Amino acid sequence: MAIEMRQQMKLTQQLVMTPQLQQAIKLLQLSRLELQDLVRQEMEENPVLEETLEAEEVKEQDQLELAEKEEQPAGEEKEFHEVQAGTETLTDTDWDSYLEGYNYSSGEQQYYDDEDRPSYENILTRKGTLVDHLMWQLNLTNLTDFESRVGAEIIGNIDEEGYLRATVDEIAAACQTDIELVDSTLKKIQEFDPMGVGARDLRECLLIQVDQLGMNGSVVEGILLNHLHDLETRKYKQIAKALGVDVNDILTAARIIASLDPKPGRIYGSEDVHYISADVFVYKIADDYVVVLNDEGLPNLRVNPFYAGDVKANPQVDAKAEEYINDKVRSATWLIKSIHQRQRTIYKVAKSIARFQRDFLDRGIEHLRPLVLRDVAEDIGMHESTISRVTTNKYMQTPQGLFEMKYFFNSGISTTEGDFIASESVKNKIKEIVDAEDPRKPYSDQRIAELLSAHSINIARRTVTKYREMLRIGSSSERKRHF
- Going by pLDDT thresholds of 50, 70 and 90, the confidence category of residue 412 is confident
pTM of the model: 0.63
Residues 6+ positions from 443 with CB-CB distance below 8 Å: 433, 434, 437, 451, 476
Q: List every span in the chain annotated with CATH 1.10.10.60.
A: 412-479
Residue 196 CA: distances (Å) to CA of 123, 181, 187, 192: 30, 20, 11, 8
Look up residue 95 and give its amino acid. W
Q: Which residue has the higher pLDDT, 307 or 251?
A: 251
pLDDT at 233: 84
- What is d(CA 124, CA 143) in angstroms, rounded to the nearest whole number? 30
**What mean pLDDT do residues 38-42 have?**
89
**Which secondary structure element, helix H or strand E, spans residue 412, and what is its range?**
strand 412-414
CB-based burial label for 416 (10 Å; 0-12, 13-18, 19+)? exposed
Determine what percent of the chain is predicted with pLDDT higher than 70: 79
**What mean pLDDT do residues 277-283 have?**
92
**pLDDT higher than threshold 80 for residue 315:** no
Q: Which residue has the higher pLDDT, 289 or 477?
A: 289
Domain 412-479, classified CATH 1.10.10.60, yes or no: yes
Closest CA to 480 of 224, 254, 197: 254
Question: How confident is the model over 218-229, as pLDDT tens digits?
Answer: 999 999 999 988
CATH topology of domain 130-268: Arc Repressor Mutant, subunit A (1.10.10)
- What is d(CA 410, CA 407) in angstroms, rounded to the nearest whole number? 7
- What is d(CA 302, CA 337) in angstroms, rounded to the nearest whole number? 10
pLDDT at 195: 93
- Going by pLDDT thresholds of 50, 70 and 90, the confidence category of residue 297 is confident
Question: How confident is the model over 336-349, as pLDDT tens digits?
Answer: 898 999 999 999 99
Question: How confident is the model over 58-116, as pLDDT tens digits?
Answer: 555 555 565 555 555 554 444 444 444 444 444 544 545 444 444 444 444 444 455 55
Contact yes or no for 282/312 (Cβ under 8 A): no
